[in-house]
Amino acid sequence: MAKINGNTIKPGMVLEHNKGLWVVTKASHVKPGKGGAFANVEAKNLETGNKLNERFRSEDKVERVTLEQKEFSYLYEQGDALVFMDDQTYEQTELQKDWVGEDRVAYLQDGMKVTIEMHEERPIGLTLPDQVTLEVVETEPTVKGQTASSSYKPAIANNGVRIMIPPYMGVGERIIVDTTTGEYVRRAE
């Protein structure tokens, strides 16, 4: 870990502060006419999700943490846990579903490559691929003469997620979905 000055804090950095790990979401640097420069920092705790608003003077020293990013493959679900395998060492790691997040668990597919951020061999964050391919299993029937207008219709994908798709698409269509927004991107080849 490296100590950095308070005036060098930027969004995206991970800091160790008050015995916790914080990711900086906003940082505005202020240089008043009188007194020393400082940074107003908004951060989010990586473990608890709590938010922090802190003012760091330019002479304050803070610990900057670098997280190790490892590639893992998703293997299977085991009760309330999800099992992942390290692609280099073949070691298996279990993560709780509620830690991963119910909205992201639905997008996990067998063998999917994910990135797990680690700090001192402890998982801190999980990143899914930007997009996944799903199949439409339930939707309203296609109305003859309906075109690809801006109106979308509800559908349910094979992972159980509700999604809005173009009106001309039907059951059995393979679609690409954005894992961060849960929105339809395009038809899969």
- pLDDT averaged per 10 residues, the chain (length 189): 79 82 84 84 82 86 85 90 90 85 85 86 83 89 61 88 87 89 87
Query: Which of helix, strand or coil describes residue 98?
Result: helix
State how far the Cα of 188 lies from the Cα of 135, in Å rounded to an integer: 9
> What is the Cα–Cα distance from 126 to 41, expressed in whole angstroms?
24
Instruction: Assign 89 to helix, strand or coil.
Output: coil
pLDDT value at position 85? 92
User: What secondary structure letter does DSSP report for 37?
Assistant: -
Looking up tokens 């395009």 gives: 186
Q: What is the pLDDT of residue 30?
A: 83
Q: What is the pLDDT of residue 19?
A: 82
DSSP state of 100: H
Cα separation of 68 and 54, whole Å? 26
* 63 three-class SS: strand
Largest separation between any pair of C-alpha atoms in the chain = 71
Whole-number Å distance between alpha carbons of 166 and 184: 9
How far apart CA 175 and CA 165 sit, in angstroms, is 9
Q: Look at residue 3 in the predicted model and tell me its pLDDT.
A: 85
Edge-first strand listing for the sheet containing 122-127: 92-96, 81-86, 68-78, 113-119, 122-127
Helix (H) or strand (E) holding 104, with range, is helix 102-105
Q: How many Cα neighbours within 13 Å face the side chain of 174?
A: 5
User: What secondary structure, in 3-state letters, does 136-173 show?
Assistant: EEEECCCCCCCCCCCCCEEEEECCCCEEEECCCCCCCC
Residue 157 carries which side chain, given as an amino acid letter? A
List, for residues 83-136, the tens digit of each pLDDT value.
Answer: 999 988 988 888 888 878 778 888 888 889 998 888 888 887 788 888 999 999
